[in-house]
Structure formats: structure tokens, C-alpha cells
Amino acid sequence: MRMVEKEDKQGQEGLISIVMPVLNQSDMTHEALQAIIENTEGYEIVIVDNGSDPPFQPPFSGFNKIRVIRNEENKGYPVAINQGVQEAKGDTIVLLNNDVIVTPGAVNRLVDWLEEFDIVGPITNYAGGLQAVQIPAYNSIDELNDEAEALFESSEGESQEVNWIIGFCMAFKRSTWDQVGDFDESLWPCSGEELNFCLEAKDKGFKIGIVLDTYVHHEGSITFTDLEDAGQLKYKEICDRNDKYLADKWGFNLWNHQLIKEDVVLASGTNLNLGCGFKHKEGYINIDNRPEVEPDLICDVIEGLPYEDSSVDSIRAHDFLEHIPIGKVIPVMNEIWRVLKPGGKFDSSTPDAEHGQGAFQDPTHVSFWTENSWLYYSEDKPRDLYGINANFKIKSLARVESGLRIYHLRVIAEAVKGE
């Protein structure tokens, strides 16, 4: 049950209300609060203490107001955020987990994006779906902030519209919450309530986006781990139960439908579909090394592509790279990169060797791909170490279930050249 009756209220114009549920983990929460204080402007903080023992004590924060709502027992994350939003004074709400370290300007930049989207979230190191990205490693707060600033400079103004985002850091207007309604409190203690909120919002015509130039650090699943260690719940059972509930409600597995459009928008120029098999794609030059599939172009990519340097607009390679012998993968990736124009799109889908059985059950698979495989084609240190020419900027990376415990890793990247 809600502790207070919900009532529509406009909220103080220009004030950002940061709502943070907590359950124990006082030191980690203080670290998260310190990052907010140092890196954010024009805000209040609303802590919802979900039964911490001892009760949470906020740090001294100078002129920045920190208010605490105390629950004597753990009412679950959805109840806590509904309480926090209801009590918030601002016209803009930012939900923030207490295991998130915000970087300089991150919260304010997210709020600025509410001019284009109705619900937004940043990218991070730990999240389900498209918000998880790889950036150079950092080992301190200063290094984290430096890498976040470098990413902002290289990606300023970039975003991606999606069907849902993860709630570790989520911004929206109070007016949006008033129209969409509460977060689903039946999903105790949490898992999936933010996906449901986003789909409810889309049903009402609201627009959801990932801000690709704003990075925060996320530890991930800390409260779940503590509760499981204490014997109070089983993490996988909670996730499976809530996933089924949401799939039954919406008629599909939400985790497989984050992208609004799964295919890259084709340029008007040259677009290649590598390893097309019998699945020819309209708008592409369909390429295969087997004449019997009647491709547009018979070509063994291992031997090279018959295109000039920087002459191809996009390349699609679905269920292709895993058929390249492991010793030939780097030359093939170099060749793909060679023919792509600067900024040309590379759309890859490979069975994920870290999840499910799809990578290994097919005897024709001779190389294996995980999320970390892409470090060798997107980060300077491993590229330089192994003399790899291919240089891609990862635009999105998503793990998609195709049934029978088979998962594919979908990567959309841009060729980086001339640097």
C-alpha cells in the first residue's frame, strides 16, 4: 500500500529531485551522494530508507537539501521510488541507485535531454541491454571522470530512441509520471518495474531515449546480492517470475525488444550483406562464396572484397563472423574496415559464446564471439598490441534471445578513420 495518496502537483520549476532508495550499504550511499554534490547543480536529494539497520544517516551537504523518508521495513524498490517521487519538490525527477557514481554534469545533461525525450537514461559499464558500453578502463574517480569527459567530447549530442531503459539512472518530468502512473509495486522487491513504466509511457505517446554522450559508473545488483546472501530471496527466481509477469502482460519478452528498429537505416550508396546464404536482403549487394545460394556477388571475403578503400556505406554480417576461422578473423575485420567509408555502419550479429549454447552446437562455427571480443577492434591498446587496423566506434551492443537458450550478440558500429 502507498503511504500517501498520490496527487498531481506541478513541482518547483527548474529543480531536479534525485530520488534514491537505500537499504543498508551506508558507505556506498555516501560515496554516491558525494559524487552528486560535487558534480550536479540545481537539485534536492530524497532518500527513501527501506528499513536500513541502523537507520540511514545522511552526510552534511552544505546548502544542498537531503531529505530522508524512513520505512521501518523493506517495502521493495517500486514502493520506495513511488514514495520518493510523491514527496519530491522538483518538476524533474531523477531516479538513481545508491551504487551509481555520477560524473561531472551527467545529471544536468540528462535533464537537458528531456527537451527531446520524455524518459532518458545514460550509458554505463553495467546494465542490461543497450546502455552497457565499453570504455577504456579506469581505476579511480579521477580516471572515471576523465574517461567520461573524453566520451562526451567524442559523442556530444548523440542519442538513441528505444522502447525502454534500465532504472539505475532514469530522468523524467513529474508531469510524465502523473500521466503514466506509479511504478508497478507488485514487482517486489524489484526487477522490471522500469521496463513496465517505459512501455506504459510509450502506450501514452511518450518518447524514451538513451543519451550516448553521458556516462556514469554502476556497480550493479548490490542490494540483490546482499538480500540473497542473507537468505531473504533468490535472485534468479525473482527475475524469472517478474520476466514472466511482464511477458504475459505485454505479449512478448521485453528484453528482446529494446530496439525500436533492429536494422540499420540504409544509405543510398553501397551496402553489402556478407554471408547472405538464401536470406537475401533488399537494398543490399548480397555476397556469399557458395554459387548455389545465387548471391548477387560470389566472393570469399577471406581473400578480400572487390571494393576500393573507403567506398562502402554499410556492411551487414549476421551469422557470418563465427564461420571465419579464428586465425583469419583479424584479416577479415581489417578488410571490412578497409572498404567502409569513415563513419560507415557495420551491423554484426554472432552467437554469444558467453550465454546459451548457440555458439558451440553448430559444427560449422570456427570462431567464437563475446562482448569483450569487440575490445580488439574498438580500443587503442589491444589494437596497437596486435597490429589491428580495424577501428570501430561501438554505437550499440545488445544480447538478444532467439529461443532454445540461443543468444546472439548484436553490435552496430561505425568505422573510425583519419585519426
**pLDDT: which is higher, 378 or 254:** 378
Strands (E), 243-360: 271-274, 285-288, 297-298, 312-318, 340-356
CB 311 within 8 A of CB 339: yes
* Predicted local distance difference test score (pLDDT) of residue 62: 65
3 assigned to some structural domain: no
Is it the case that residue 361 has pLDDT exceeding 70? yes
pLDDT band at 398 (very low <50, low <70, confident <90, very high): confident
Residue-wise pLDDT for 322-347, tens only, equals 999 999 999 999 999 999 999 999 99
Considering the chain, what is the average pLDDT of its residues? 88
Q: Give Cβ neighbours of residue 342 (< 8 Å, ≥ 6 apart).
A: 310, 415, 416, 417, 418
263 assigned to some structural domain: no
In Å, what is the CA distance from 193 to each residue of 75, 94, 182, 278? 14, 15, 10, 41
Q: Are residues 145 and 29 in the same domain?
A: yes
Q: Are residues 101 and 155 in the same domain?
A: yes
pLDDT band at 288 (very low <50, low <70, confident <90, very high): very high
H helices present in 204-278, as ranges: 222-229, 235-250
- What's the total number of domains in the chain? 2
Q: Are residues 218 and 285 in the same domain?
A: no
**pLDDT: which is higher, 229 or 7:** 229
What is the span of the domain harbouring residue 178? Answer: 12-256
Residue-wise pLDDT for 113-149, tens only, equals 999 999 999 999 888 888 988 788 899 999 999 999 9
